[in-house]
Structure 1
Amino acid sequence: MQFAGSHILSISQFERADVERVFAVADNMEPYARRRRRTRVLDGAILGAMFFEPSTRTRVSFGSAFNLLGGEVRETTGFEQSAIAKGESLYDTARVLSGYSDVIAMRHPVSGSVAEFAAASRVPVINGGDGSNEHPSQALLDLYTIKAELAGRGRGVDRLRIAMLGDLRYGRTVHSLCKLLGLFEQVQLVLVSPTELRMPAEIVETLKARGHEVVESDTLEASISHVDIVYSTRLQEERFTTREEADLYRGRFRLNQSIYTAHCEPNTVIMHPLPRDSRENARELDDDLNDNPNLAIFRQTDNGLLVRMALFALVLDVVDQVDACSTPVTWYTGRREL
């Protein structure tokens, strides 16, 4: 893949070598993300952060990643704050805002909309999530986390055993992660969901065609007993027609410490793309797991900075200049590592 000047819209753009390239650059971003060094490699550059769907982690992570490379961020949040509310097309919006930015990170509630926007943009566009379709940067940070968590155990991503739980029909993070895992060897996937919320069939068939073992289940306990990773997802309430329809599935496949202790192997890693739903009738990932050292959800969010910094550096073709534009940090951050 040619990164410089390219849009990042789908995991389908990536080969395994491209993923390894992103991860190698992400590794080199560690001192900057952890505030041990400061770089101004993107001094004067502008990120247009266009988030037309509610977002906290992804929006702030993209913005922080750009700031940590020395760039500035201009944000649009919600349709009501944009000219789209006045009837402006994505084409016109893209033509205008790409004139104000050097790169754009975009989230939109309609599948395919980010690609439509990118087709009219004069600068690279990174997909921050489009409807129930994909979330490529989340999949990359998830896999980066998986790689890091397993490395300490002398394991790699090949022959990974992973269970994905919850809303697999509308959860764009698991769609992208499955596509990414398809690039590796002999992955075993257990897909745990209600029948109505199963992983899209085309994704399952693609995984099987590439030689991976895929099991679909609606039973939690047996599905998490022999895996390296349990990846839980939130019910995507916003994709349902009514809240009452979503309530039919809310609270299914709840993972808590007692279930983990009884059914998971001792070092099974727990992941979640966040936000986790902490309302009493949901709790797909219970708060009583917070002290479990295998809970990796906040290591995931930290890794998001590394991966998104790497994507910006690659797309804007400044990877080889990052260190040359750096200085040590002399102020105390007061940060504690997880």
Structure 2
Amino acid sequence: MPCIESRLLDVTSRLLPLAAVGVAGYGAACALTFLRRWAWNRSAKRLYNKSLISVDSLSTANLDVIMRVAEKCKELVLGKGKCFILKDRIMAALFFEPSTRTRCSFEAAMQRLGGTVILQDNMTTSSVSKGETLEDTVRMFSSYCDVIVMRHNLKGTAARAVQASSVPILNAGDGTGEHPTQALLDFFTIRSFFPNIQRDASGEALRVAFVGDLKHGRTVHSLSRLLSRYNVAFKHVSPEQLRLTDDFMRELDETFQKHNRDPKARQGCYDSLQEVLPMSDVLYMTRVQKERFATPQEYARVKDSYILTASLLDAYSPAHQKILHPLPRVNEIHTDVDRNIRSAYFEQAQNGLFVRMALLLVVFGKSAEVLFPYPSPKEAFLSLFSVLTWPLWSPSEGKRAATGAGEGAELPLPTARPRTQTLEKEIESACNWSLRERRVQCADGDGDGDGVGVWMEKETESDSACDWREMEKVAVCGWMWECM
């Protein structure tokens, strides 16, 4: 007992300075986190409380902010699953046009951040069916929520909604206009496979092929506008009647020129999918949109223009090629492509959750809380506890010379010896019990030689049991010694 008391006094004398160091360290960590949040909010403030109508409103720095936050949101979802940063926020989802991935991913994004969702996706049950204008609908919903996510079948409606709303508007698609949040998740996906797209400004261009309905495809419009800022080359594959307009092509040329790139080497129009497959790094497939045609006959003439199969990919495409699709697909990608190593469209759809979480965070000015969380009290306690109790469990401490011992003498901790002795007594008792049982069996022998066989058999079993228990003792005692 005196040894234990002296040991406790020795450890206690060290606790106070260690505790002071631990508290100071925790305070310094919190102060550093505060400064990092402050610096980050300065770089992200241009997105705070802002609407997103077109990718043109996003600078390259804004894109970097959203991508970094999206990476952190991906870690959050795959780790803890959700948080409650937006627990006091409400998002209204107004969908005048059918949607699956965009609507559900925005809802999931808000709920994983702890927020609440007001959903209005059936306009036949709203006052719109009575003749209410878009502006009145938006103005009314903006008084109920903190942000509005809106999709409409008419081009330009998102810009009209911004004029009527008192809260930020996030464009989830406006007819044949734009789909900026889809472009962000597409960019996030491409960036994950080809990270040099943001860094390599003078090397070989990333070759992106857009295939299908390019005239009506708002996802193509937004993504091509965004990618034209970087070192890319476009290959447009579509029927004649579904090609990009000349005005849009000139707009992309101007963006290339703005970033000091020759537009003549950056765009090309093609009719054949097989011709483009070997010279594409990213293949962006789109469906022919039936809802954009005046008659079913016009749609029927072009709906099967391009059908991608696994055999086509294996015959023409490079192994590193990645296939994207905004979904839903009809028949432009055969289901056998799903198992191909080049397919990435389901991963692309999942990335929509992470990007839309990031977008909500930066709009509400809460992205710094995800990127730089303060240490929780539990984490701080465990860290401090591990530091303060180091003298108790460090192997070197158990071997340090005790009072009265010479320098370098190795003495076990007081608590280690009683545990070892207890184990040894248990093992001896078990072995003695086996030996007594062996002698009784031998005494019952009738002298005709049978007893000898019984004695040897029992002795073998007894030796095996003792050896096994001896090994168990060594292993357990060794583990306890190391941990102590």
Q: TM-score, normalised by structure 2?
A: 0.64
The structural deviation recorded for 1:206 is 2.2
- 1:319 aligns with 367
Taking only the aligned residue pairs, the percentage that are identical comes to 37
Residues 244 and 30 (structure 1), Cα distance of their counterparts in 2 relative to 1, 3 Å cut = same
The structural deviation recorded for 1:219 is 1.1
Residues 301 and 326 (structure 1), Cα distance of their counterparts in 2 relative to 1, 3 Å cut = farther
Unaligned runs of 5+ in 2: 1-44, 377-484
Q: List per-residue Cα deviations over 1:215-251 (Å, max 9, x = no partner).
A: 0111111112111100000111111112221111011
Query: Which amino acid in the other structure matches residue 164 of structure 1?
Result: F
Structure 1 counterpart SS, 2:65: helix
Q: Given the alignment of the two structures, is residue 93 of structure 1 paired with residue 130 of structure 2, yes or no? A: no
Query: Structure 2 CA distance, aligned partners of 1:248 and 1:20?
Result: 42
Given that 2:83 and 2:112 are in contact with CA atoms closer than 8 Å, whether structure 1 keeps it comes out as: yes
- 1:237 aligns with 290
The structural deviation recorded for 1:324 is 4.1
- 2:213 aligns with 167
Q: Given the alignment of the two structures, is residue 49 of structure 1 paired with residue 102 of structure 2, yes or no? A: no
Query: Structure 2 CA distance, aligned partners of 1:138 and 1:208?
Result: 22
Q: Given the alignment of the two structures, is residue 254 of structure 1 paired with residue 316 of structure 2, yes or no? A: no
- 2:124 aligns with 80
Structure 1 counterpart SS, 2:117: strand
Query: Which amino acid in the other structure matches residue 249 of structure 2?
Result: V
Query: Structure 1 CA distance, aligned partners of 2:374 and 2:173?
Result: 31
Given that 1:16 and 1:184 are in contact with CA atoms closer than 8 Å, whether structure 2 keeps it comes out as: no
- 2:83 aligns with 39
Residues 22 and 326 (structure 1), Cα distance of their counterparts in 2 relative to 1, 3 Å cut = farther
Query: Which amino acid in the other structure matches residue 190 of structure 1?
Result: K
The structural deviation recorded for 1:35 is 4.8
- 2:328 aligns with 275
The structural deviation recorded for 1:44 is 2.2
- 2:429 aligns with none
Q: 1:180 aligns with which of 219, 226, 235?
A: 226
> Within 5 Å, which residues of 2 pair with 1:142-157?
142-151=186-195, 155-156=196-197
Q: List per-residue Cα deviations over 1:95-115 (Å, max 9, x = no partner).
A: 100001110100000000111
Unaligned runs of 5+ in 1: 278-282, 328-338
Q: 2:342 aligns with which of 249, 274, 294?
A: 294
Q: Given the alignment of the two structures, is residue 196 of structure 1 paired with residue 237 of structure 2, yes or no? A: no
CA RMSD of aligned residues (A): 1.6
Given that 1:50 and 1:77 are in contact with CA atoms closer than 8 Å, whether structure 2 keeps it comes out as: yes
Ranked by relative contact order (alpha carbons within 8 Å, sequence separation 6 or more), the top structure is: 1
Query: Which amino acid in the other structure matches residue 347 of structure 2?
Result: R
Q: List per-residue Cα deviations over 1:271-295 (Å, max 9, x = no partner).
A: 1000011xxxxx1011010111220
Residues 267 and 145 (structure 1), Cα distance of their counterparts in 2 relative to 1, 3 Å cut = same
Query: Which amino acid in the other structure matches residue 254 of structure 1?
Result: I
Query: Structure 2 CA distance, aligned partners of 1:165 and 1:183?
Result: 20
Given that 2:81 and 2:112 are in contact with CA atoms closer than 8 Å, whether structure 1 keeps it comes out as: no
Structure 1 counterpart SS, 2:226: helix
Query: Structure 2 CA distance, aligned partners of 1:56 and 1:320?
Result: 30
The structural deviation recorded for 1:37 is 4.5
The structural deviation recorded for 1:263 is 1.1
- The structure with more radius of gyration: 2
- 2:168 aligns with 124
Query: Structure 1 CA distance, aligned partners of 2:171 and 2:306?
Result: 29
Structure 2 counterpart SS, 1:119: helix
Query: Structure 2 CA distance, aligned partners of 1:128 and 1:33?
Result: 22
Query: Which amino acid in the other structure matches residue 339 of structure 2?
Result: D
Q: Given the alignment of the two structures, is residue 17 of structure 1 paired with residue 65 of structure 2, yes or no? A: no
Query: Which amino acid in the other structure matches residue 166 of structure 2?
Result: R
Q: 2:275 aligns with which of 222, 233, 247?
A: 222
Q: Larger % of helix: which? A: 2
Structure 2 counterpart SS, 1:248: helix
Q: List per-residue Cα deviations over 1:282-318 (Å, max 9, x = no partner).
A: x101101011122000110111111101110011111
Q: List per-residue Cα deviations over 1:81-129 (Å, max 9, x = no partner).
A: 2211110111111110000111010000000011111210110010000
Query: Structure 1 CA distance, aligned partners of 2:145 and 2:275?
Result: 50
Structure 1 counterpart SS, 2:47: coil
- 1:310 aligns with 358
